[in-house]
């Protein structure tokens, strides 16, 4: 099988490429240049896809004896990930750029180019597993090492994409084993630190970075009764669940900390309140997608649904809203609602058995059954069924 190995310059992708070679595949390595500042260097464990990373990937490919290329995807990354990130924050939502990068870059733009060039699959160092179902279709599952499992950020993959994905680290029991294997193979990245935080904000100052790209203006911080309790430099730099950096001069009547409950970009307001009001038990998600065949209940609606107001039967799931968050038992269903042009579009409704705290619009809710990833949707609204709604965003109002 002709395999294009995406090599980030880290230990995981290097070992994944090595295993693909060892399995007998015809492997070519490629590093994606995503930065528009090509002189950028990595700072410890912050940042990725830098000049330093491309050189580390080249050294790994050279050791493995495989062809190696650097492909410039910076314009696509800027448009589909960076600009999307800015637009989402400007609308009062909190996006996941890693998930968007996997959706738009690594398993869309890269895979499309790979298939056009005659490759059969794209290989990455993600910790997740692709298995065949009883009908020969592909399913996405959690990795053996749940501590490193990355199936959440791959929840955007479609059935068609899963047909061309190779994940050699799927059954590896720990990251320590990957590093030990890299050392045995003589890979110089064996002890390279993992990258973390947002790759295009290597200093970790998301608020400062956004302030340079979003027009901010001072506005009011209000409590849930509508009383002004402070001011802020720009509502778009806050996120639901935030506690630090509020700079509220007026203490709460009960003396307890206050958290961001809602962001209102249109009125430039931030609503704060006690932590217990962050608990939500229903999520509504837009743009749902399925990692493999949809569950029968959803498939029936997608096949037979004709008009807004129709809904599928509910089905049991585990719902996860953060990359390393704990999954929560829930029941989910699809509903058809009026789309922008009046045509019915599907929304995902997730009723949680246990409340979750601080779920922000813009996050992704990924659904599981056991270890299998069913699919995902972007959270549009998160609220509690037991009280008046104080969460969410007014971006769509």
- Which residues belong to the active site? 101, 199
Q: Which of 71, 27, 67 is nearest to 49 (CA)?
A: 71
Identify whether the C-beta of residue 268 lies closer than 8 Å to the C-beta of residue 91: no
DSSP letters along 287-316, please?
A: EEEESSSPPHHHHHHHHH--STT-BPPPEE
* Alpha carbon distance 361, 337 (integer Å): 18
Q: What is the DSSP letter of 86?
A: H
DSSP string, 179-235: HHHHHHHT-TTTTPPPPBS-TT-TT--HHHHHHTTS----EEEE-TTS-EEEEES-G
At residue 263, φ and ψ (nearest 5 deg) are: -120, 130
Query: Measuring CA to CA, how many Å separate 254 from each of 228, 257, 273?
Result: 17, 9, 11
Token readout for 394 is 């007014």
Q: Is 58 helix (H, G, I), strand (E, B) or coil?
A: helix
228-232: strand order across its sheet = 228-232, 219-222, 269-273, 259-264
Tokens 């990725």 sit on residue: 48
């Amino acid at each position: 099988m002709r395999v294009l190995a995406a090599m980030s310059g880290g230990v995981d992708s290097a070992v994944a490429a090595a295993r693909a070679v060892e399995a007998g595949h015809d492997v070519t390595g490629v590093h994606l240049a995503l930065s528009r500042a090509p002189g950028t260097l990595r700072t410890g464990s912050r940042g990725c896809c830098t000049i330093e990373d491309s050189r580390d990937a080249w050294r790994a490919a050279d050791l493995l004896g495989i062809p190696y290329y650097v492909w410039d995807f910076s314009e696509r990354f800027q448009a589909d990930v960076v600009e999307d990130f800015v637009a989402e924050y400007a609308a009062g939502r909190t996006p996941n750029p890693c998930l968007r990068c996997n959706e738009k870059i690594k398993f869309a733009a890269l895979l499309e180019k790979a298939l056009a060039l005659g490759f059969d699959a794209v290989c990455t160092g993600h910790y997740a597993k692709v298995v065949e179902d009883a009908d020969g279709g592909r399913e996405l599952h959690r990795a053996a090492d749940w501590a490193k499992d990355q199936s959440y950020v791959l929840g955007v993959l479609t059935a068609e994409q899963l047909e061309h994905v190779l994940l050699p680290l799927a059954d590896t029991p720990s990251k320590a084993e990957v590093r030990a294997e890299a050392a045995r193979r003589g890979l110089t990245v064996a002890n390279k630190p993992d990258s973390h935080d947002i790759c295009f904000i290597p200093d970790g100052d998301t608020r400062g970075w956004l302030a340079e790209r979003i027009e901010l203006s001072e506005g009011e911080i209000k409590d849930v009764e509508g009383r002004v309790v402070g001011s802020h430099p720009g509502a778009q730099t806050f996120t639901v669940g935030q506690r630090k950096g509020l700079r509220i001069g007026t203490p709460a009547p009960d003396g307890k900390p206050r958290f961001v409950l809602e962001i209102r970009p249109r009125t430039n307001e931030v609503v704060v309140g006690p932590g217990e009001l962050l608990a939500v038990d229903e999520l509504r998600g837009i743009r749902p997608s399925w990692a493999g065949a949809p569950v029968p209940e959803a498939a029936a609606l997608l096949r037979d649904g004709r008009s807004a107001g129709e809904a599928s039967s509910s089905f049991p799931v585990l719902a996860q809203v953060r990359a390393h968050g704990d999954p929560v038992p829930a029941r989910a269903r699809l509903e058809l609602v009026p789309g922008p042009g009046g045509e019915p579009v599907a929304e995902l409704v997730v009723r949680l058995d246990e409340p979750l705290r601080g779920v922000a619009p813009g996050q992704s809710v990924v659904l599981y059954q056991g270890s299998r990833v069913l699919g995902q949707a972007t959270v549009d609204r998160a609220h509690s069924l037991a009280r008046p709604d104080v969460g969410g965003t007014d971006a769509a109002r």
